[in-house]
Structure 1
Amino acid sequence: MEPRHQPTFGWNSCPAEILYLVFKLLYPADLQQLCLVNKTFKTFAEPLLYSTIHFTWQEYHQYYSKLDPPPPITQLLRTLLSRPQLAAYITSLHLDGKAYAIYETRFKLPRIYIPNAELDRPIAFIRRTVPYSDEWIQKLRDGSIDALIALLLSQLPSLRYLYLGRAFTRQSTLIGMVLRSGICEYGTYNNKLPDFRYLREVSFLCRKQRDEACDWKTKNTADVLPLFYLPSLQCMSVSIRNPEVWTWPTDLPVPSKLTFLNLTSIREGQLGEILAVTQNLKTLRWEWYYDAGVADEFVTKTIALDQIASAISHVRDSLTDLTITGNCQPSAAVGDQFQPGLQAVGSLDAMASFNIRRLQIPLAFLVGFAQDTTKRLQDVIPRNIEFLTITDDLAMQNMDYLEDWPLFEWKDDAILELLQSWLKEWTICTPNLRRITLSLCWIDMDEWSPKKRAQLRDLGAESGILLELIDT
C-alpha cells in the first residue's frame, strides 16, 4: 500500500491570530530575521520588534573599567527619521546602565555623536519644530546625550512606558524643554511634537551624589515637572533636585490617575509642593537624603519632622502605603569617610490621624536619635496601621562622634521597652495592627542575643501580634 500523502504545513496560510501569538514569544533577534522572510511575516514581526526598546550602557562595571561603546541609539534614530511610521509601534523605552559610575566619566560627560552624513534629517526636523532649534542642533553636533535623548523622545508618540536611568539624565535641559513643549504647550508647535498622552509609567532617575562633571547648582526641577501633567500617568519614580524657587510650568497639574509615586533627592522643605497636587495618591516611596558635598538651603543636616508631616498631610486621606528611607553620605569630594552628624527636630505626631495602613520608616523619624523615655510609638503610628516595618536607617550618622550632634542611642532593651509600652494598649490606639517588623542593618555584637530575640517573640505571642526581627 502506498503511503498516504501528508499535506505540508504552511506558515503563510496560518491565521493571523496564530502568527501573532507565535511571534509574540520570540526574541528580538528572531523577529528581526522574520522581517526579512516575506511581507506577511514582516507585517506581524515589525510591530513586535519595535514595541519595546531596551538599551543598557555599561551593564557591568568596576570603577576603573573602560567605558563601553554606547548602545545603538543613533542607528534607531536614523531608522525612525527615515521610516516615521515605525515610531508608532514603540510603546516602551528603557535606557539604563552604569556608564555614569566609572572613573572615565567622573569628571567628563561621555558623548554620543550622530555621524555627519546622517545629521541632515535630524536638523531638518528640529528646525521646523521648535524655536530653540539653534541650541538643540548645536548640542546635537557636540554629542550631547541630553540633545540625543530629547530627539529620540520627540519621535515617540505612542509611549506607554518610559525609563531614563542615571547614565542618560546627567544633563536634561533639552529633554525637559521637549517634555514641556509637547505636554504643556501642545499645539503651539503645529503638533509636531508628541503630547505623550498615552504615557502611564515613568522613571526619571538622577544620581544622588554631586556630579563632578556638571554644575551642581543646576537643578533638574523644570525638566521633570512637566511629567506631572501627563493625562494618563499612573506610576512615577523621579529624582527632583531642590530649586531655590519652586515654579510649575503652567497652571497647577491635576494628575488624577497617579496612584504610585517614588521620590528621591527632593527634601522635606519642598516635598509638599509635589504632594499638594497628587490628591489620589495611594503609595508613596520617599528617600530622605543628605550629602555633605551638596549642602545648600534645603539639603541640610536637620530632619524637619514637622515639615514631613505637613507635606504628607496633603494625601492623608488617600495614602495607604508609605515608605520613608534615610540615606546620609560624607563629602567624597574632600575625602570624608564618616557619615556626618544629623539631628531630628519636631515630630510626626500628626501622622497618627492619617489613613496609612502599611508603613516602613526609620526609628529615628519616630522617636529621634537620642534615647528618650518620654517618646512613645503609639503617639505617632497611624491609627489604621496594619503592617509596620521599623528600620535603623541613619543609625551610623555622626560616626566621628561630634559632641554637638546626637548619637543613635536606641539599643535592644530600649526598643523592647518602646514596643512593650505600645502593645499594652494596641487594641485601643491601633486596633487593626497585624505585624511589626524590625529591619536592622547595624546591630552591635552584644545586641539582640538569643535571649532578647526570645523576649521579642514572647511579646508578640502575649499581644497576639506577629513580631519579627530581620538582620539585613
Structure 2
Amino acid sequence: MPLEHQGSCGFLRCPAEILDLVFDLLSTAELRALGLVNKDLCALVEPYVYSKIDWTWRENHAPPPITPLLRTIISKPQLAARITSFRFQSNPACCWEWNKFAAQKISIPVAELHEFIAFVQRTGVPYRDLWTEQLSNGDSDALLALFLAHLSNLRYLSLDYIFCRQSRIIQMLLQSAICNPGMYKLPDFQHLRAVSFHPYDDSGAPYTALRSRGQSPLSQSLVLPLFYLPKIQRISAAVENTDTFAWPTDCLPDPSKLTSIYLADIREANLGSLLSVTRNLRSLRWTWYYDAGVHDAIVVPIVNLDGIAAALSHVRDTLTDLTIFAEAPLGGGDQFYPAVKMEGSLRTMVEFDKLKRLQIPLAFLVGFAQDTTKRLHDVLPRNIEYLSLTDELGLQNNDGFFETWPMYEWQDFALLILLRTWLKDWRTYTPHLRSVSLVYDELDTYQGEWPPELRHQLTDLGTQAGVQLDLVEWRRAW
C-alpha cells in the first residue's frame, strides 16, 4: 500500500530492504527524532523504536522509563504489539547489595496508578488484589508484571536475576498465562522463543555460582512454565532443588523446539526430571553446585556421576554440545573449600554418539586422586571433536579435614601422561578428535604450573598426534 505524500520525500521511495539497512544503523534516539518528521516516517520507524526494549537500571540512577512506556502502550495498544524483545537488567555497585537494590520502589503518578489498577482488575486473575496492592506500593515486580501483561507478541525475554528473585507477581502471571491459556485476559506468550532469567553472561567461562554471591536459585514455579511454551528454543535460568519435583500441570510439557538450555545450581536428580521432556535438545550448559551451608537430602557434597549420566541419558540421541561447570565455593568465614567427593562413573557417556563438543571438569572423568593408569577414552564420547578439560573443584578439601576424601591431586606432569596414553592411539577411540584445551585457574596457588619444559612437551605431543593442544588460563570472578 503506497505511503501518503510519498512524492514529498524521495527517501521514502527506496525499497524496504534499503530502508531497513539505514534504520539498523540508527540509535533509538535518532529513530525517535526521525519519526517526528512526518507521519510517513513515523510509521516506518515505529517498529524499530518499539521492537526492542533494552534497559539497565543502575544504582543511584532513576529507574528506566517503564511507567511512561506503560502509559503509552495502554493508550496505543498497537505499539505493544510492536515489542518483540524485552531485556531488563540491573547494575548495583556491589553484588552483596542486590537484594537491597531490587527492593527499591518505582514512583507511579496517581492518574496512571488508577489506570494500571483498572487493567489488573480486568484481567480476572485471582491474585489481582495482591497485584494492585503491590502496584500501589511501587514494587518493581508488580510493575514489570503489568508491562509483560501487555506484550502479546513477545519473542525474547531477559529479566535480571535479582528482580526474578522477588518475582511473586511475575511468577503467578506466567503460570496463569502459559499453563491456563484463555482463562484470563492475559497474553498467552505463545510467541516466546528465548527466555533468560540467568545471572551469568554467555562467554563460556566457568562462573562463581549464586550462593557464593549471597544469592539463591530461582523458584521452580517461575521456571517450569517456560517448558510449556510451544515455540520456546532457549531457556537460561538458575533453578532451585526440591525433594519432590512436580510439573505445574497434570500434563507433561512437550517443548519440541527447545534446543538449548543453560541451567545453574540445580542438582542431578532434578536435572534429569527437566531433561526427560527435552527430546530435541542439542546444547546443554549446566553448573553443578554444592553449598556447605545447605543441609538437605539433595544439596550434598557428593558428585553423583551415575546420577549425572542417568540425567544426560535423556538427551544422548540429540545432544551435540555439552558444558558442565562445577562450583563448591567458600562459605561465610571459611578459610578452606568444603570437601567434595566423586561417586560412580560417566562411562556411559562413551555411547553419546551425537556429542561433538564437551567441556567438563577433569575430576568428573578421572576423579580427584592422581591415577595415571586411568584412561580418558574409557569415558569420552567416541565422536567427540572438541574437548575442554577444566581444573574446577581443584581446591576442594585442601585442608585435609576429611582424611578419607582425597584432595585434588592432578598435577601438570600427570595430566600430560594421561593425555599421552590416550593420544598415542586416539584414532581408534575418538577418530574425529580435532582439538583439546586444558583450562586451568591462574590463581597464585597454582604458580609454577605448566612451566616452559612441560608446555614444550605438550606442544610436541599435539604435533606428533596431529591434534591441536592448547593451554587456556582463566580467572574466577570471586
State the TM-score, normalized to the length of structure 2.
Answer: 0.88
Match of 1:467 in 2: 469
Tell me the residue number matched to 2:146: 151
Once the two structures are TM-superposed, the CA of residue 294 in structure 1 deviates from its matched residue by 4.1
Determine the C-alpha separation between the residues in 2 that align with 1:391 and 1:336: 24
Distance apart, 1:82 and its partner CA: 2.0
- Distance verdict in 2 for CA 1:430–1:16, change over 3 Å: closer
Partner of 2:194: 201
Aligned counterparts of 2:319 and 2:213: Cα–Cα separation in 1: 37
> C-alpha distance in 1, partners of 2:446/2:296?
34
Q: What does residue 243 of structure 1 align with?
A: 242
**Alignment match, 2:312:** 312
* CA distance in structure 1 between the aligned counterparts of 2:146 and 2:212, rounded to whole angstroms: 24
CA deviation after TM superposition for structure 1 residue 103, in Å: 5.3
Q: Percent identical across equivalent pairs?
A: 50
Unaligned runs of 5+ in 2: 1-6, 201-208
Summarize the alignment of residues 254-265 of structure 1 with structure 2, pairs less than 5 Å apart.
254-265=254-265
Q: What 5-or-longer segments of structure 1 have no aligned partner?
A: 1-7, 59-65
Q: Whole-Å Cα distance in 2 between the matches of residues 278 and 89 of structure 1?
A: 30
User: Counterpart of 1:386?
Assistant: 385
Equivalence for 1:63: none
Q: How does 1:38-117 map to 2 (within 5 A)?
A: 38-58=38-58, 67-99=60-92, 101-102=94-95, 104-106=97-99, 109-117=103-111
2:122 is aligned with what amino acid?
A: R
**1:336 aligned partner, one-letter code:** D
Superposition deviation, residue 470 in structure 1: 2.1
Cα distance per residue 1:338-367 (max 9 Å; x no partner)? 322211111111111112111111101111
Report the secondary structure of 2:116's partner residue.
helix
The Cα of 1:425 is off from its aligned counterpart by 2.6
1:77 to 1:292, Cα distance in 2 relative to 1, 3 A: farther
Please list the CA deviations of residues 284-322 of structure 1 after superposition, one character each: whole Å capped at 9, or x if unmatched. 111112233445332222111111111000000100110
Counterpart of 1:91, as a letter, is T
Residues 219, 242 of structure 1: 8 Å contact kept: no
Q: Do the aligned residues in 2 keep the contact of 1:106 with 1:212 (CA within 8 Å)? A: no
Give the structure 2 partner of residue 118 of structure 1: 112
**1:171 pairs with 157, 166, 171, which one?**
166
Q: Distance in 2 between matches of 1:302 and 1:268?
A: 10
Cα–Cα, structure 1 residues 161 and 84, in superposed 2: closer, same or farther, change >3 Å?
same
1:28 aligns with 2:21: no
- Provide the rounded CA distance (Å) in 2 between the counterparts of 1:433 and 1:426: 8
Checking the alignment, whether the CA contact within 8 Å between 1:209 and 1:294 is kept in structure 2 is no
Structure 1 vs Structure 2 CA RMSD = 2.4
Specify whether residues 80 and 211 from structure 1 end up closer, same or farther in structure 2 by C-alpha distance, changes over 3 A only.
Answer: farther
Q: Secondary structure at the match of 2:290?
A: strand
Structure 1 CA distance for aligned equivalents of residues 454 and 24 of structure 2: 54
The 2-side partners of 1:210 and 1:248 are apart by: 25
Please name the residue that 1:133 is paired with: 128
Match of 1:62 in 2: none
CA distance in 1, matches of 2:105, 2:95: 15
Q: Report the equivalent of 2:221.
A: 222
Q: Please tell me whether the aligned partners of residues 359 and 388 of structure 1 are also in contact (alpha carbons under 8 angstroms).
A: yes
Please point out which of 338, 341, 346 is paired with 1:340.
338
Q: Distance in 2 between matches of 1:12 and 1:387?
A: 50
Give the partner amino acid of 2:359.
Answer: Q
- Going from structure 1 to structure 2, the CA distance change for 1:122 and 1:294 (only over 3 Å counts) comes to farther
User: Using a 3 Å threshold, how does the CA distance of structure 1 residues 219 and 360 change in structure 2: closer, same or farther?
Assistant: closer
Could you tell me how far 1:147 is from its partner in structure 2?
A: 1.6
Deviations 1:241-263 (Å, cap 9, x if unpaired)? 11232111121111111111111
- CA drift of 1:428 comes to 1.7
Q: Could you tell me which residue of structure 1 aligns to residue 361 of structure 2?
A: 362
Q: Tell me which moved more, 291-300 or 122-131.
A: 291-300
CA distance in 2, matches of 1:233, 1:71: 27
